[in-house]
């Protein structure tokens, strides 16, 4: 751990003070024998014979200060040589491509199914309009007994919801089981559609909406393709109403 520049300065001052207070307790060999005070050195005072040694002024005060400077200098160098923090590169963003690419035969089939299911849901919702939301089973029913079929894909659910906008659609796995099976819906009707049945020149699809034991409808829609889109053109067989 390194110290800040202010802490280095405080340490240096404390060292000088502590060494200054120790001068009076120096050994006699270090003191001036004439004045019994600290030896003072004047500029240019060198031994004429040796020409290189100083006149006993290298006291512990200066030695301590030099040691501090050396220590601080070493710490400063170490701190300067520390590796600078680096910014890690942001992780690469990956996107999941749709499993069905636009333009393929499978994409065209899915697009047809999406439009048919959306048209059937719109037709059954129009029989019970005005709800703030409609809770749609997220899989087509396989038969009249309500057997759950293959769940809609995310692509299919997104496409159906977009075609029904601005009507709000909530996807559910199944209608919840209530203590009172005839209790009214909680916030919106429950809606379901069946599998698409191809007929000569048109398709048929079951649909149902349920708001309670006395507010339910079940029927089979006929849909025809008109102007490049699928439209409900009628019903096949009776329409059950409770």
pLDDT digit string, tens, across residues 161-202: 999 999 999 999 988 877 777 776 667 899 999 999 999 999
Average pLDDT, the chain: 70
pLDDT per residue over 37-92, tens digit each?
A: 444 444 444 444 444 444 444 444 444 444 444 444 444 343 444 444 433 343 33
Show the tokens assigned to 126.
Answer: 């129009």
Which of 32, 93, 98, 91 is closest to 59 using CA atoms?
32
Instruction: Return contacts of 220-225, CB within 8 angstroms, 24+ apart.
Output: 221/119, 221/120, 221/123, 221/124, 223/116, 223/119, 223/120
Question: Within a 10 A sphere around the Cβ of 137, how many other Cβ atoms?
Answer: 21
For residues 159-168, one letter each, b for 16 or more C-beta atoms within 10 angstroms of the residue's C-beta and e for the rest, the string is bbbebbeebe
How are the residues of the chain apportioned to helix, strand and coil, as percentages rounded to the nearest 5? 30, 25, 45
CB 172 within 8 A of CB 227: no
Element (H, E) at 81: none
What is the enclosing helix (H) or strand (E) of 159? helix 154-164
- 134 has which bridge partners? 169
Residue carrying structure tokens 């070493």: 74
Q: Is the pLDDT of residue 221 over 90?
A: yes
Give dist(CA 182, CA 189) in Å, integer.
13
- DSSP-based three-state secondary structure for 203: strand
User: Residue 36 has what pLDDT?
Assistant: 45
């Amino acid at each position: 751990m390194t110290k800040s520049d202010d802490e280095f300065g405080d340490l240096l001052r404390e060292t000088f003070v502590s060494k200054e207070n120790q001068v009076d307790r120096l050994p006699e060999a270090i003191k001036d024998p004439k004045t019994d005070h600290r030896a003072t050195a004047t500029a240019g005072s060198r031994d004429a014979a040796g020409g290189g040694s100083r006149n006993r002024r290298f006291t512990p005060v200066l030695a301590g200060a030099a040691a501090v400077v050396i220590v601080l200098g070493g710490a400063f160098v170490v701190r300067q040589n520390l590796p600078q923090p680096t910014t890690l590169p942001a992780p690469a963003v990956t996107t999941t491509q749709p499993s069905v690419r636009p333009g393929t035969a499978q994409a065209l089939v899915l697009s047809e199914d999406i439009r048919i299911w959306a048209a059937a849901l719109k037709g059954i919702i129009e029989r019970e309009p005005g709800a703030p939301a409609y809770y749609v089973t997220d899989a087509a029913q396989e038969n009249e007994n309500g057997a759950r079929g293959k769940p809609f894909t995310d692509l299919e659910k997104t496409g159906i919801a977009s075609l029904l906008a601005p009507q709000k659609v909530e996807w559910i796995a199944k209608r919840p089981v209530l203590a009172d099976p005839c209790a009214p819906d909680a916030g919106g009707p429950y809606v379901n559609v069946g599998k698409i049945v191809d007929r000569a020149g048109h398709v048929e699809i079951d649909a149902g909406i349920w708001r309670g034991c006395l507010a339910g409808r079940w029927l089979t829609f006929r849909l025809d393709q008109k102007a490049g889109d699928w439209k409900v053109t009628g019903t096949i067989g009776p329409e059950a109403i409770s």
